[in-house]
Amino acid sequence: MPVPRIRARAPGKLFLSGEYAVLQGAPALACAVGRHVEASFLSGAAVEKAEAARWRQAAGDILRRHDLDPGPARAALEIDSRLLYSDAGIKLGFGSSAAVAVAVTGLLLAAQGRGAGAAAGLRIADELHRALQGPGGSGVDVAACFHGGVIAVQGDNVDSLSWPDGLYCDVIFTGRDADTGSAIGRFREALRDADVAAFKGLCVAAEAVRHAWERDADAVLAAVAGYAGAWRALDRSARLGVYSREHLRLQGLARAADCVYKPSGSGGGDCGIAFSADRGKLDALRESVRDEGFLPLAVDLGVEGLQVRRQGDHA
């Protein structure tokens, strides 16, 4: 059977604010990062890896449920997600599984002559991600990888945002990965066992970041600092394990450099983000975190989302 020469490319993502709060109906802000997953069809004698086969088979089932041709999912896939891992093979917290789901969806839809339209493509990618990673997440990571740029997500609404003038960010890797599924499980357990009103502060703080984002850099910094404070307070009271030893140390270093710091994503590991309206302060912070053994990551933020390129067909 002819194997289409198509390559699909999806960026990773970072949460800017609203982690956990989005699970309670509050808005979350996320952006695409300039490290990508690529998916393509194997040809010749190349052997498909077990992980790629797992994604392909799950995608075929979902295409069938949507009354779409599952035929493209019978061809072996190659998935390259190395850029979303450290040199030591540790995931960086850039949403590698979400990016894989988006890239595989784009590839299989393009192979049957369909574009990955915003509604249908995102829905299939989200279903694929949930099928293999569990149903507990918010879907924000998939939406960020699919749409690209900077987005605000609240319920089913996804809004595209601009980056505020004069706002600078550095992404810092803690050195260890986080178990997102377990973290979400702890959050939901805490919701069941505690007064839901105890979580209101986090949701209010997430709303404040969403509104500040369209004002100016100083407003964003104040709102992100408020969100980080509400998240830290909730982490203490509910014992979520968000602010690991590494995140607490990075927060202290950022405070000493007069920057605002927060974990990105489920916390406990992965990456954090330092914000400032002064590029020089972030430069100083970068040197101090290196001295402490952490890894600043040079990545572009707000990059383009899913891209699919056809190179012609071959047998």
Per-residue pLDDT reduced to its tens digit, 196-236: 666 889 999 999 999 999 999 999 999 999 999 999 988 88
What range does the domain containing 224 cover? 168-297
113 & 173 share domain: no
Q: Pick 28 or 192 by higher pLDDT.
A: 28
Take residue 166 and report the two structure tokens written for it.
């004069």
Please report where in the chains the tokens 């101090």 appear, as a residue: 288
Confidence of residue 188 (pLDDT cuts 50, 70, 90): confident
Please report where in the chains the tokens 């020089």 appear, as a residue: 280
Contact 314, 16 (CB under 8 A): no
Residue 147's φ and ψ, nearest 5 degrees, are -80, -35
85 & 221 share domain: no
The CATH number linked to 36 is 3.30.230.10
pLDDT of residue 1 exceeding 60, the answer is no
- List of residues 6+ apart from 201 with CB closer than 8 A: 230, 233, 234
pLDDT tens for each residue of 105-116: 999 999 988 766
Taking residues 282-309, report their average pLDDT. Answer: 96
263 & 250 share domain: yes
Take residue 126 and report the two structure tokens written for it.
């989200």
132 & 178 share domain: no
Confidence of residue 194 (pLDDT cuts 50, 70, 90): low
Confidence of residue 315 (pLDDT cuts 50, 70, 90): very low
The CATH number linked to 190 is 3.30.70.890
130 & 193 share domain: no
* CA dist list (Å): 48 to 9, 43, 237: 18, 10, 46
* Helix (H/G/I), strand (E/B), else coil: 267: coil
